Amino acid sequence: MFSAELKSDTLKGLVNIISTLIDEVKFTITPAGMTLKAVDAAHVAMIEMEVREKAFESYSAEDSEIGLDLDKVKGVLKLASSGDIIRMEQDESHGRLIFKVGNITRRMNLVDTSSMSDPKVPQLSLTAHISVPVEELQKGIRAAESISDHITLRAGPDYFELSCEGDTDSVSLRLDRESSLLIDTDSEVCSMFPLDYFSNIVKAVPTGTMINIELDNDYPVKLVFDLADGNVKVNYLLAPRIESE
Amino acid sequence: MFSAELKSDTLKGLVNIISTLIDEVKFTITPAGMTLKAVDAAHVAMIEMEVREKAFESYSAEDSEIGLDLDKVKGVLKLASSGDIIRMEQDESHGRLIFKVGNITRRMNLVDTSSMSDPKVPQLSLTAHISVPVEELQKGIRAAESISDHITLRAGPDYFELSCEGDTDSVSLRLDRESSLLIDTDSEVCSMFPLDYFSNIVKAVPTGTMINIELDNDYPVKLVFDLADGNVKVNYLLAPRIESE
Amino acid sequence: MFSAELKSDTLKGLVNIISTLIDEVKFTITPAGMTLKAVDAAHVAMIEMEVREKAFESYSAEDSEIGLDLDKVKGVLKLASSGDIIRMEQDESHGRLIFKVGNITRRMNLVDTSSMSDPKVPQLSLTAHISVPVEELQKGIRAAESISDHITLRAGPDYFELSCEGDTDSVSLRLDRESSLLIDTDSEVCSMFPLDYFSNIVKAVPTGTMINIELDNDYPVKLVFDLADGNVKVNYLLAPRIESE
């Protein structure tokens, strides 16, 4: 049995993040909240999300799993205005989740989760830790888009830089320690990533969010951030693109 | 001889409604105003419209007919801002209608009406009468769009419901008597309609309009509403989709 | 050596105007400013532009030439907000121009100008001189677009008219001397022009700009206007379309 109410903006935030990687997801439900682990089809990126019970307006659940088609959930979100409350209720006899938004009732078939196993999330200890407003990353991505398919993240004790090198042209966005930025690293580190993945996740993060970046040399990057006043925790892991010699 | 002035918003409202069914129309013109009867090419829906002399800022006409290409009239509307007055004047010697918007003069060839006969509008006496703000119907349509190609309208003594049943999913919008809704029926009635027709007409109605719905079992639905402060009367009739056994 | 700072809005204004004709341009640079002469590939229209040193926030240059790909410059403009300052600096050792917008650095390969010769701009003395707010021309173009591929400009001692004649329909926009318009001509003059060229340049001019039109019978039209508080001078010359008998 699962029933919960949450703000449409909170649900929209979660769905936007997750749907950068996959369309059909399995949520693990406990009395303390919902969690999700997912990897994209190409195994390039991985997401871990925890939606705590306090992220909801009301929440009542036993241990279970729910499989959702996020495209359908996006359809429900289009029926809600910002500030609306969305009610979800499990209809176990029919294998459905019932969404209620105002006077609208939407009955949605659940996705079969029996073949969906949780990916194993690697535990990484990365050298550099940087905190940066998501708007700066979004600006760097816009600059990079016309130059190349890859983006390089680089950090030193005093700076953090996004850069992009094309055949003839290049672009970089450099942030110094002063510019509302926290940097914690003794040495210089640098890795290159596929721009489309990095762009999709960064654009899905609401403005006003602070992103914690963990970076190393030719290693995955980890993006850690909160949504919904800290009641939703997101870890996003993106594999590097190692340049062949 | 026909000459008239009307607000661009009024003309836009009329054109949006009519062009959900047809592109070339015949208006019957009398000293009391203009009327139109039209049916779409597939004979699924029918519209009856009366534009009274008071809907115009100025109006002077003898009995006649005018054939218009609504796509061209939409072009004229794009040249006008909200609040602008559009002047129309018949140029009988050239078979043209002259539109004036500010310092722009647009001479438009009239459509030949000799082969356009008025459809016979059936007189129906339908069981249930419901009044509902068009915004609620628009909301119901948005909810239905991803589920099916058909929409079911259902009314009982205490409620009115739009619903849509897909293979696995369903959606419904239910209005109770309290929610700014008038319902007059002793029994339950229910008919199903093609969603595209219903959607086109409901989306063309300006927000803030109250729609009077007349409904029965497996019968056409009649939508009756006013535009331009009650000086434009619209009857819209949509054939049901009878499910074959 | 060339380095300069200018408002993003000024650069955007220049680029929008020039790119109606060509994508790769050669600017001639002197200590007094930048100039450009360009003709489109079909030799239908020609532009002469002078960007005075005072149009820049700061400016330092020796005599030289710079070849730019305007599509890339548009990419830089997308990274700037209205009011932002864009810094340009020549990197002569690499044949690049470096753009700086806030914390973004964009290194752009220059276009080879060795094969780009300046077109010879004909000196014309045209009968009628008209001054008209660009908004009126933009309105006339919107009206003309659905009627024909050509637009006729006509002026007499007391009026200026844009008109467009289709097979069955026509449209005209007429301005009288009173309507914030200066007209200087003793006789009636009239020429017809390709609508797409006329439309592209007129739409690229910022609203609020006064356009000086020089017109004659079956002759090119000259559009003369200022940007950036009079510090950018533009002459635009468009060949007429002479109707064959």
Q: Please report, for residues A36, C23, C110, the alpha-carbon distance to residue C94 in angstroms, rounded to integers and kept in the order given.
A: 50, 22, 9
A234 in contact with C, Cβ within 8 Å: no
Q: Is the CB of residue A150 less than 8 Å from the CB of residue A192?
A: yes
pLDDT in tens, A197-227: 999 999 999 999 999 999 999 999 999 999 9
Task: Give the whole-angstrom CA distance, residue C216 versus residue C222.
Answer: 10
Residue A225 has phi, psi (to 5 degrees) of -155, 165
The answer to whether the CB atoms of C105 and A140 lie below 8 A apart is no
Q: HSE of A183 in the Cβ direction (CA atoms, 13 Å)?
A: 21
| DSSP code at position C242 | P
Angle at C221 between CA C217 and CA C225, to 5 degrees: 145
pLDDT value at residue A94: 83
C146 in contact with B, Cβ within 8 Å: yes
Nearest CA-CA partner of A18 in A52, A51, A64 = A51
| Amino acid found at B19 | S
Beta-ladder partners of A6: A86
pLDDT value at residue B92: 83
B171 in contact with A, Cβ within 8 Å: yes
The answer to whether the CB atoms of B79 and C174 lie below 8 A apart is no
| Amino acid found at B94 | H
The full 3-state SS of A80-131, as one line of letters, equals: CCCCCEEEEEEECCCCEEEEEECCEEEEEECCCCCCCCCCCCCCCCCCEEEE
Residue B224 has phi, psi (to 5 degrees) of -120, 125
H or E element at residue A233: strand A232-238
The answer to whether the CB atoms of C103 and A142 lie below 8 A apart is no
Helix (H, G, I), strand (E, B) or coil at C26: strand
Q: Where do we find the tokens 């030439």?
A: C65
Task: Give the whole-angstrom CA distance, residue C31 versus residue A210.
Answer: 46
pLDDT in tens, C141-190: 999 998 999 999 999 999 999 999 998 899 999 999 877 689 999 999 99
Task: Report the residue of C163, C171, C181 to disrupt the B interface, i.e. the one with the largest count of B CBs within 10 Å.
Answer: C171
Angle at A25 between CA A19 and CA A27, to 5 degrees: 120
Task: Give the whole-angstrom CA distance, residue B91 versus residue B2.
Answer: 9
Q: Where do we find the tokens 């079992």?
A: B217
| DSSP code at position C45 | E
Residue B200 CA to its chain's centroid (Å): 9
Nearest CA-CA partner of B16 in B201, B223, B235, B234 = B201
pLDDT in tens, A145-157: 989 999 999 999 9
Residue B229 CA to its chain's centroid (Å): 15
Q: Is the CB of residue C158 less than 8 Å from the CB of residue C176?
A: yes
Please list the pLDDT of chain B residue by residue as tens digits (245 residues): 899 999 999 999 999 999 999 999 999 999 999 999 999 999 999 999 999 999 999 999 999 999 999 999 999 999 999 999 999 999 988 889 999 999 999 999 999 999 888 899 899 999 999 999 999 999 999 999 989 999 999 999 999 999 999 988 999 999 998 776 899 999 999 999 999 999 999 999 999 999 999 999 999 999 999 999 999 999 999 999 987 65
pLDDT value at residue B244: 64
Q: How many CB atoms lie within 10 A of CB A187?
A: 11
Task: Report the residue of A104, A109, A110, A112 to disrupt the B interface, i.e. the one with the largest count of B CBs within 10 Å.
Answer: A104
- Which region, left, alpha or beta, applies to residue C180 given φ > 0 means left and ψ of -120 to 50 means alpha? left
pLDDT in tens, B37-77: 999 999 999 999 999 999 999 999 999 999 999 999 999 99
Residue A237 has pLDDT above 70, yes or no: yes
C171 in contact with B, Cβ within 8 Å: yes
Tell me how far apart the terminal alpha carbons of chain B are, to the nearest angstrom: 55
H helices of chain C, in order, are 8-18, 70-78, 134-144, 195-204
Q: How many CB atoms lie within 10 A of CB C99?
A: 23
Closest Cα in chain B to C168:
B109
Task: Report the residue of C173, C176, C177 to disrupt the B interface, i.e. the one with the largest count of B CBs within 10 Å.
Answer: C173
Nearest CA-CA partner of C194 in C154, C143, C125, C144 = C144
- pLDDT band for C244, please (50, 70, 90 cuts): low
pLDDT value at residue A180: 66
The answer to whether the CB atoms of B78 and C142 lie below 8 A apart is yes
Residue B199 CA to its chain's centroid (Å): 11
Instruction: Outline where DSSP puts E strands in chain C.
Output: 2-7, 24-30, 33-39, 45-52, 58-61, 64-69, 85-91, 96-101, 104-109, 128-133, 150-156, 159-165, 170-176, 182-184, 189-194, 210-215, 221-227, 232-238
Task: Give the whole-angstrom CA distance, residue A200 versus residue A214.
Answer: 18
The answer to whether the CB atoms of C108 and A140 lie below 8 A apart is no
Residue ranges of C 173-212 with Cβ closer than 8 A to chain B: 173-175, 179
The full 3-state SS of B165-196, as one line of letters, equals: ECCCCEEEEEEECCCCCEEECCCCEEEEEEHH
Beta-ladder partners of A210: A133
DSSP letters of chain B?
-EEEEEEHHHHHHHHHHHTTT-SEEEEEEETTEEEEEEE-TTSSEEEEEEEEGGGSSEEEE-SEEEEEEHHHHHHHHHTS-TT-EEEEEEETTTTEEEEEETTEEEEEEPPP-TT-PPPPPPP---SEEEEEEHHHHHHHHHHHTTT-SEEEEEEETTEEEEEEE-SS-EEEEEEETTTT-EEE-SS-EEEEEEHHHHHHHHHHSPTTPEEEEEE-TTS-EEEEEEEGGGTEEEEEEE---PPP-
Could you tell me the two tokens for A64? 């279970």
pLDDT in tens, A104-128: 999 999 999 998 888 998 999 999 9
**What percent of chain A shows pLDDT beyond 90?**
90
pLDDT value at residue C94: 83
Helix (H, G, I), strand (E, B) or coil at C224: strand
| DSSP code at position A55 | G
Tell me how far apart the terminal alpha carbons of chain C are, to the nearest angstrom: 55
**How large is the average pLDDT for residues A84-94?**
93
Which residue in the set A102, A104, A107 is minimally distant from B169, CB to CB? A107
C218 in contact with B, Cβ within 8 Å: no
Helix (H, G, I), strand (E, B) or coil at A204: helix
